[in-house]
Structure 1
Amino acid sequence: MTAGSEARGYASSMLHRIAADISDREHVSLGDLIHRLGASGFGLALIALALPAMIPIPGPFGMVTGSCLVLIACQMLIGYHRLVLPRFLADRHVTANGVKSVIMRALPWVKRLEAMVREGRWRSLTGRSSHMLVGIPVLLLAVVLALPIPFGNIGPVASLLVIGLSLVARDGLALMLGLVLSLATFIWTGVLIFAGAQIATYLASFFV
């Protein structure tokens, strides 16, 4: 197997391993999950935390992962090399079956996106300084994910997955694609908010 193919399959392999490791447990802490991601930096963390928003399931996943995404963005902006969770988040527990369900249902999508990345392509664009700049769109994507917009999670999740995979493989071209997707997501979210406000105003006019 070539180095490039290893890079493209690393994220899905790691997620599959996590699902297998926690299969015999009832609950797992968020700190444990982040620790299991290993030394892959922020890329795998972005992927792992974006997945629950792609597949709606019962539980506090949205609130917890949304908080962690904001934390990731802030630490990227500061220039951290690795995600560090505060105690109140690290000790937060979620159901292991819920985590496993999210991972197994999302793996096919992650594998499809992995086919797009190439290890080391335009590597210079994925250095530490770029991580700090990427923190800005990641923060905005986390905010968009928190908004109660119907079908509004598709764009942010896709953007975060591509950005995360690009950071894992150090693929600068994929990173640029992720940033373009982020820009498109922000524009589309603005359109949805504007349209929703117009519809709400129109409906309210009937009750005035």
Structure 2
Amino acid sequence: MQATGGLGKRSLALSLLRAANSRRGADKITVGEILAALGERSFGWTFLLFAIVNMLPLPIGATLVTAIPLILLSLQLVRGRRSVTLPRRVMAIEVGREAFRRSIHRLRPVMRPVERVLKPRFPAPFAPGRERLLGLMLLLISVALFLPIPLSAWGPAISILICALGLIEEDGVVLLAGFVAGAISIAITIGVVAMIVFEASILL
């Protein structure tokens, strides 16, 4: 699993903002351009980027498209891949530059306290072979995000964002905190789906 070490206490949000500003004057920027500006194709940064994409103002049902890259990334981890490979179509996904910047600013109150405590520790989740288990958990969270349930995207997306921060700094404590948040969001999603199915069965 490729991670980015040595970032110290540099703000990850500021790194994202600088990447978003790499095409000044352009209304939109592609996923590939953001990753190129970050200088990274690691799992942590890529999960972080697509978690933020899923927090952009999107119409209901948009996660049927925007969550697919997260599912692909999770499957690569499940297969034991150590670096990210994304299809050209995914790299060519465009996001509004200003909307992306606004989302990062909105997320800074969530990211800042996590960034303060980020540091390499509790390496057990990053041991060789563990990436398959990490990928499976991230896959479950991504599937919960994928389901087009109104107002349900933010929980899984924030969980993946926290996990991504843990992956970037190889912080096992933060990674596990993200998984706990993900488990809660999965439970909520299952509850909502069960309620919808129950109500539909009554109507039928």
Structure 2-normalised TM-score? 0.83
Q: Is the 8 A contact 2:22 2:37 kept in 1?
A: no
Equivalent position of 2:54 in the other structure: 53
Q: Is the 8 A contact 2:62 2:148 kept in 1?
A: no
Cα distance change, pair 120–73 in 1 and its aligned pair in 2 (3 A): same
Which amino acid counterpart does residue 33 of structure 1 have in structure 2? I
Equivalent position of 1:100 in the other structure: 101
Equivalent position of 1:36 in the other structure: 37
Equivalent position of 2:126 in the other structure: 126
1:82-101 aligned within 5 A? 82-101=83-102
Which amino acid counterpart does residue 186 of structure 2 have in structure 1? F
Equivalent position of 1:67 in the other structure: 68
Give CA deviations for 1:89-147 in whole Å, capped at 9, x if unaligned. 223333333333333332332223323x4311112322443322211121122211121
Q: Report the structure number with the largest CA radius of gyration.
A: 1
Equivalent position of 1:147 in the other structure: 147
C-alpha separation in 1, matches of 2:195 and 2:17 = 40
Q: Secondary structure at the match of 1:129?
A: coil
Offset of residue 188 of structure 1: 1.8
Q: Secondary structure at the match of 2:82?
A: coil
Q: Is the 8 A contact 1:55 1:106 kept in 2?
A: no
User: Percentage identity across aligned positions?
Assistant: 26
Q: Secondary structure at the match of 1:193?
A: helix
C-alpha separation in 1, matches of 2:128 and 2:25 = 38
C-alpha separation in 1, matches of 2:33 and 2:128 = 25
What residue ranges of structure 2 are gaps of 5+ in the alignment?
none
Cα distance change, pair 152–57 in 1 and its aligned pair in 2 (3 A): closer
Q: Secondary structure at the match of 2:67?
A: helix
Cα distance change, pair 8–154 in 1 and its aligned pair in 2 (3 A): farther
Cα distance change, pair 55–162 in 1 and its aligned pair in 2 (3 A): same
Tell me how many residue pairs correspond in the alignment.
200
C-alpha separation in 2, matches of 1:62 and 1:163 = 19
1:187-202 aligned within 5 A? 187-202=187-202
Q: Secondary structure at the match of 1:54?
A: coil
Q: Is the 8 A contact 1:126 1:175 kept in 2?
A: no
C-alpha separation in 1, matches of 2:175 and 2:93 = 31
**Root mean square deviation of aligned Cα:** 2.7
Which amino acid counterpart does residue 53 of structure 1 have in structure 2? N
What residue ranges of structure 1 are gaps of 5+ in the alignment?
none
Kindly indicate which of the two structures has a greater share of residues assigned to helix.
1
Q: For structure 1, which segment, 93-102 or 130-139, has the greater mean C-alpha deviation from structure 2 after superposition?
A: 93-102
Cα distance change, pair 151–7 in 1 and its aligned pair in 2 (3 A): farther
